Amino acid sequence: MGQIRRFIPTLILTVVIAYFGYHAMTGDQGVLNWLVVEAEIDAVEIELAQARAERQALETTAARLRSDSLDLDYVEERARDLLNVAHPRDIIVDIEPDPGH
């Protein structure tokens, strides 16, 4: 009986360490959840970079269309592209997409 009494504190300590260890790995603020959050942050940062690049492209397009710095060649190019027309003296080269891509 004396040996069992000496073993009880060790058993309780082992159970407590196992309990906290389990929750340190799988809890709301555990290691596994931290890895998931890190992956989500990486995905959102990639999405943010894409949105910033798209915004920069739109700002460049808007700047080219402002009346104070109007790029007439660009306006003509956009009008022809949107209306799907060409000038009679234009040379049109149709490039087929590469089937390997």
Domain borders along the chain are 2-83
Compute the distance between CA of residue 60 and CA of residue 35 in angstroms, rounded to an integer. 38
| Predicted pLDDT of residue 38 | 94
| Predicted pLDDT of residue 101 | 62
In eight-state DSSP terms, residue 97 is P
Is-above-0.75 flag for pTM?
A: no
Low-confidence ranges of the chain (pLDDT < 70): 1, 101
| Predicted pLDDT of residue 50 | 97
Using an 8 Å Cβ cutoff, are 64 and 74 in contact? Answer: yes
